[in-house]
């Protein structure tokens, strides 16, 4: 378990030195969208923008793209604020309260990610893709985060999935690609597909490769993995398949 964002961090400001535009924790969601749109225009770059005021349950995030993703219940807004003046991809992604003012940092976006709001808009799943072939699951309880309560580390779900996956694969198979993806989320039942490729033999030799695919049914309230499905069960019960190659 890790402590949530401190009050000092909650009052943090995000600014790009090229534009001087500043977003603080007291900005409303509407104000934040307006300021981000103005900043993206002032930068005079070809960077795309995805700033919307309509709710979305799912969105693709890109490190160089200004974006706002409003929760289905309109109580929250996720903001992607690229720092285009940096030599590295270090784009901050933050959460903003729309009903109660406040802003909280979530994670740093290095490349691409897929983001999903939970059915009650109180939880957030991110399939982060910092490297080709190596996804990472990040899970946030946004309500607890905004109330500065103790919450699980964002990568706790990823560690749980990876641990069960390694147990299923066995010691003789080494993971080459790890590509968990989202399938569905109804009430507290979150379904993930965990696919990729492995190789056998010594790690230094990288022997023959083989693909793998499992379904993981997770209780999103506790992050406990309730059931592991084979590729055949995943396809038969849910019509879902795994991604096995980047």
pLDDT digits (tens, 9 = 90+) for 113-146: 999 999 999 999 999 998 777 899 999 999 898 8
Of 99, 128, 146, the residue at which a domain comes to its end is 146
Q: How many domains does the chain have?
A: 2
**Alpha helix locations (H) across the chain?**
7-10, 29-42, 142-146, 156-169, 231-238
What pLDDT shows up at residue 182?
98
Q: What are the backbone dihedrals phi and psi of residue 221, each rounded to the nearest 5 degrees, phi first?
A: -80, -35
Q: Is residue 244 part of a domain?
A: no
111 and 178 inside one domain: no
Whether pTM > 0.85 for this model: the answer is no
Q: Is residue 60 part of a domain?
A: yes
Are the beta carbons of 15 and 23 closer than 8 angstroms? yes
Whose structure tokens read 């399938």? 183
Mean pLDDT for the chain? 84
80 and 196 inside one domain: no
125 and 15 inside one domain: yes
- What 3-state DSSP class applies to 112? strand
Closest CA to 104 of 77, 86, 129: 77
What pLDDT shows up at residue 117?
97
**Sign of the CA dihedral 160, 164, 169, 173?**
positive
199 in the Ramachandran plot: left (φ > 0), alpha (ψ -120 to 50) or beta? beta
42 and 136 inside one domain: yes
179 and 208 inside one domain: yes
Q: Is residue 110 part of a domain?
A: yes
Q: Is residue 1 part of a domain?
A: no
Of the two residues 80 and 83, the one the predictor is more confident about is 80
Let me know how long the chain is: 246
Range of the domain at 113: 7-146
130 and 169 inside one domain: no
Distance CA 158, CA 122 (A): 19
93 and 47 inside one domain: yes
138 and 160 inside one domain: no
75 and 164 inside one domain: no
128 and 176 inside one domain: no
């Amino acid at each position: 378990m890790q402590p949530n964002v401190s009050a000092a961090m909650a009052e943090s400001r995000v600014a790009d030195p090229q534009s001087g535009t500043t977003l603080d924790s007291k900005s409303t969601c509407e104000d934040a969208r307006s300021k981000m749109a103005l900043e993206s225009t002032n930068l005079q770059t070809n960077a795309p923008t995805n700033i919307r005021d309509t709710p979305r349950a799912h969105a693709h995030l890109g490190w160089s793209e200004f974006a706002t993703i409003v929760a289905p219940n309109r109580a929250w807004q996720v903001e992607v604020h690229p720092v285009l003046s940096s030599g590295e991809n270090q784009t901050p992604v933050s959460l903003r309260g729309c009903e109660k003012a406040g802003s909280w940092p979530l994670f740093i976006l290095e490349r691409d990610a897929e983001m999903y709001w939970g059915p009650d808009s109180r939880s957030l799943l991110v399939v982060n893709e910092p490297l080709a072939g190596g996804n990472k699951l990040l899970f946030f309880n946004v309500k607890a985060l905004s109330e500065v309560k103790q919450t699980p580390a964002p990568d706790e779900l990823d560690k749980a999935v990876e641990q069960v996956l390694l147990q299923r694969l066995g010691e003789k198979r080494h993971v080459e690609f790890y590509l968990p993806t989202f399938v569905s989320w109804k009430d507290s039942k979150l379904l993930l597909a965990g696919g990729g490729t492995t190789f056998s033999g010594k790690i230094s030799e990288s022997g023959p490769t083989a693909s793998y695919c499992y379904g993981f049914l997770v209780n999103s309230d506790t992050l406990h993995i309730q059931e592991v499905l084979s590729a055949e069960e995943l396809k038969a019960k849910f019509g879902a398949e795994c991604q096995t190659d980047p």
